[in-house]
A and B are shown apart, each in its own frame.
Chain A
Amino acid sequence: MKTALFRLTAIATLLISGEAISGDVNLYTSNSEDSVAMALDVIREEAPDIKVNVIAGGSGSLLRRIEAEKESTVADLFWSSGFSTLAGFSNLFAQYESPAVESLMPALQAKDDPWTGTNTHVMVLMINGDVLEGDAPATWQDIMNVKWQGKVTMADPANSSSAYAQLYGIYTMYGEEGVTQLASIVETQGSTSGVYKAVAQGEYPVGMTMEYAVQRYVAGGQEEISLVYPKDGTFLSPEGLALIANGPNPDDAKRVYDLLLSKRVQEELVGLTLRRPSRDDLDEAIKNSGLPLMGDLKIIDVDQVKAGADRDMLLDLWAKARG
């Protein structure tokens, strides 16, 4: 009964979306439509025999949909979401060792996991010079000073995975004391995007957010916006793509998988999205996009698995510290 219903639902969604047809590669993606279009252009050129059908949406809803369709899988590939989010759905994915993995930064190869890093977020401080009084903070430790109280904003780590990554990074560097201190300083926003919007609009001089989000404003020409890569070290929040287990067309899906990790796609993507690519042979492209090179940043290694395991404890600590 249940199987039949799932099948019905799947067929119904297929009929409604009118897109996913077996034999082609069905790409479930949370990337912006211009990123997807760019990648499709490359795939069309490099592998003209493959037709890619795109199902776009938020990563959470896409992953839940793949889970719902498990009885008769429609998706071939999922591109992309944070490692910690992927970890929650790892039973949906199939292990695939792409030849492209060797060209990636070690931290994003994820060799033991059924996914591969495509790009990584870098946690930064976003500064709005118009409403900033005095010098900008240079380190995470700086903003823990009471003089920044009420002037720094971050997303609610209970709702936002990137905010949780920031919190976990602080925890790694400064322990429980750091978390408590941070909790007494920052004001939180309901969502990830609330942070960079609030800073861009001048509500706060400083926001804890992701590199690409700030770089969009810098590249867009909003002069008062700048970003600080904290000198005491910053943390990555890598994102990856995954092959779906029992997908209808795994062979072609693997070719698309490789192409999405290819130099050409990643090169163009960084210019478009300002998201730092996972390959380590793209310094030229990174520079051209106005991003600093990875080597110039101090990166603190964060154990993503442990981060997931400590989640409840840390959020509890956070909630207590916030009162």
Chain B
Amino acid sequence: MNRFLPWGLLSLVSLVFLSVFVAYPILGVLLRSFLGETGGFSLNGFLIFLTKGQYLEALFNSVLLGVTVTFTCSVVGVFLAFIVARYEIPFGSIIFLLPLSILIIPELISAQSWIMVLGNNGLVTNLFKAIGIPFPRFYGWLGLIYVMTLTFYVHIFLAALAALQGFDHNLEEAGLSLGTTPLKTYFKVVFPAIMPAVLSAGLIVFTLVVGNFAISITLGQRVPLLSVMTYRSFISELGGNPTMQSTLATVSILLVVAVLFLQKRYISKRNYQMVAGRTPPRKKLKGWKSFLASGGAGLIIVLSLLPALVVLIGSFTYSRGPVMYWGEFTLSNYARIWDFNMGVIFNSLKFASLASALGVIFATLVSYLLVKKRNVLSTSLDYLLLLPLTISGTVLGIALAHGFNSGPLVLTGTAGLMVLAMMLRRLPFGVRNAASNLHSISDSIEEASVSLGVPPVRTVFNVVLPLMAPGIAAAAILTWVTTVAELSASVVIYQAGQETLPIQIFRLISSDLMARASAFGVINMLIILVPVFFGIKVMKVKLFSS
């Protein structure tokens, strides 16, 4: 029956693509962790994990860090959301910059800038030293928690804000009318109601922290962490142990799967819908309360945006080798890039634009197939699309590098693999965006076009794509932003000549060359910012609608 064509064929192609480039490499990692050195089945890897070295400690640290940062992010995010939702504060309109800040400031750069501010040689640290107050050691737990909180709280802020704005104020008044004090009402009525939203955002934060590479490796020197250890096992100067790499990768996959499983159970258990109610009016605060609320919110905002500023200043700061001379300005950091490293910029542009274009096309196609043309393959596609969510960038990089270094399809070392890695990391989100976009387009619109004599495929181009265009533009920009900042997967698989901006920044930070790293950081932010700015201002794209 030719009705199978072309949608069935496209579904099949997508399924094959995801099987080859997602399922197969990940499966390979899982299987290899059960291989001994001789090739037979062995639990040696897990035995070593449980008994030797710092592996178990690293797992414990990662979980502890995840829980801690999730907690601190929840406190900061809910507090800020509450202030923004309920009170008029002087600079309320600047809040809209917040979600942008996590986009335009790659986490690597925020780690870098906080080292420049609070590290042992940092601006603030030296200031404290100068007046004789010892400043606590920033590397390790303090730095990790601090920088990760500032990087990830936005997820919880956005979720809590949405929940608070959708919260029916009548409930709150009902609570008050029953005689509980306002504070008690918040704790008894308001917080339990926004809890589901906060918790599911919290679980996202948890997985981000556990899988995080950039901040972990730059700040976690004395704290063994699973993600860093996984990376090191792969990248070791002296050639790593493949079983151990796979074992570590498997453990981190299992950790995330366990978390996702918990999330599923939790959400299915308390799936009550919030009745969209009356949004409460924003109150004006007076006196010390106003100072506290706007001061607190202002501080969070300033701290969120500060890294961009620090990196900007750092990039113009004179340095000799690793030593920075704050207050002495120079253009030499940029001149060096101009002289030697334009290739790095072109690499970033090339890889990110290819990955974004392919990613968006693929996400649009697959979401269309999943939403509008469901068939027997759709369920498998759904599940395959979940897979990239269970793995961190590092594990994805390892999986791809191992999966395609031999056999019929050799990609290891090619630029294609870089593009693929960048594209796959963002794919589940791209599909989700595009799908939510498609759900709002009625099926009858397509049928109307077909009934008027336009064939189905042309109908998609004539009618569906124009309606998806704003969503596609938003997805393209978000994909661009994340791929330009992608580090954890690409740093595992890149080859000589394939350095991207984040890889270069990472290498320079590793060699303690902060001023030069900053110049690359500024260029990285500019490359991210330009399309975001263009999209929002010129094309009026709504980035955060879905």
Contact = CB atoms under 8 A, between A and B. Distances in A.
User: Is there any pair of Cβ atoms, one from A and one from B, under 8 angstroms apart in the complex?
Assistant: yes
A244 to B, nearest CB: 14
A226 interface: no
Interface in B200-223: 217, 221-222
B121 A200 contact: yes
Nearest to B412: A68
Interface stretch (A10-18, A104-112, A230-238, A251-259): A10-18
B512 A56 contact: no
Given A16-B414, A191-B232, A220-B319, A160 B237 contact: yes
Contacts of B546: none
B238 A159 contact: yes
A164 B239 CA distance: 14
B339 A37 contact: yes
Interface string A266-290: 0000000000000000000000000
Interface majority SS (helix, strand, loop, mixed), chain B:
loop
B237 A55 contact: no
Contacts of B239: 60
A197 interface: yes
A33 B341 contact: yes
Contact of A60 (B228, B237, B416): B237
Interface in B48-102: 52-53
A197 B221 CA distance: 10
A216 B228 contact: no
Interface in A164-192: 164, 187, 189-192
A201 interface: yes
Given A201-B121, A221-B323, A28 B232 contact: no
Contacts of A196: 512
Interface string B498-522: 0100000000001110000000000
Interface in A58-79: 58, 60-62, 64-65, 68
A217 interface: yes
Contact of A190 (B120, B232, B336, B512): B232
A1 B336 CA distance: 43
Interface string B21-61: 00000000000000000000000000000001100000000
Contacts of B496: 28, 55-58, 61-62, 65
Contacts of B410: 5-6, 9
Contacts of A191: 232, 510
B119 interface: yes
B120 A37 contact: no
Interface string B147-183: 0000000000000000000000000000000000000
B221 A217 contact: no
B497 interface: yes
Nearest to B336: A34
A19 B510 contact: no
A37 B340 contact: yes
Contacts of A91: none
Contacts of B442: none
Contacts of A56: 496-497
B380 interface: no
A197 B319 CA distance: 16
Contacts of A60: 237, 239
B232 A201 contact: no
Consensus secondary structure, chain A interface: helix
Interface in B470-529: 494-497, 499, 510-512
Contacts of B2: none
A202 B192 CA distance: 46
Contacts, number: 113
B137 interface: yes
- Most chain A Cβ neighbours within 10 Å, of B239, B325, B497: B497
A22 interface: no
A62 B499 CA distance: 13
A130 to B, nearest CB: 8
Given A187-B222, A198-B221, A216-B321, A65 B495 contact: yes
Contacts of A194: 221
B15 to A, nearest CB: 25
A190 B222 CA distance: 9
B2 to A, nearest CB: 36
Interface in B290-329: 319-323, 325
Contacts of A197: 221, 510, 512
A159 B321 contact: no
A13 B236 contact: no
Contact of B238 (A13, A33, A164): A164
A28 B497 CA distance: 10
A202 B128 CA distance: 15
Contacts of A19: 497
Nearest to A157: B238
A158 interface: yes
Nearest to A62: B496
Contacts of B336: 33-34
B222 A217 contact: no
Interface string B444-456: 0000000000000
A303 B525 CA distance: 49
Given A9-B413, A55-B497, A217-B323, A34 B237 contact: no
Contacts of A17: 497
Nearest to A82: B237
A98 interface: no
Contacts of A319: 52-53
Contacts of B237: 60, 85, 159-161, 192
> Which of A5, A160, A203: most chain B Cβ within 10 A?
A203
Interface in A195-252: 196-198, 200-203, 216-217, 219-222
A161 B121 CA distance: 28
B340 to A, nearest CB: 4
Given A33-B341, A37-B339, A62-B496, A193 B512 contact: yes
A62 B232 CA distance: 18
Contacts of B121: 200-202, 222
B139 interface: yes
Contacts of A161: 237-238
Nearest to B220: A190
Given A158-B236, A217-B323, 13 more contacts: A9-B410, A13-B497, A16-B414, A28-B496, A37-B340, A159-B236, A159-B237, A160-B237, A160-B238, A190-B217, A193-B512, A200-B512, A217-B322
The 10 closest A-B pairs by CB, nearest first: A57-B496, A220-B323, A201-B120, A216-B321, A220-B321, A220-B320, A33-B340, A202-B120, A16-B415, A222-B323
Interface of B: 52-53, 119-121, 137, 139, 217, 221-222, 228, 232, 236-239, 319-323, 325, 336, 339-341, 410, 412-416, 494-497, 499, 510-512
Interface of A: 5-6, 9, 12-13, 16-17, 19, 28, 33-34, 37, 55-58, 60-62, 64-65, 68, 85, 158-161, 164, 187, 189-194, 196-198, 200-203, 216-217, 219-222, 319
18 contacts: A56-B497, A57-B499, A61-B494, A61-B495, A85-B237, A159-B237, A159-B238, A161-B238, A198-B221, A200-B322, A201-B120, A202-B120, A217-B322, A220-B319, A220-B320, A220-B322, A221-B323, A222-B322
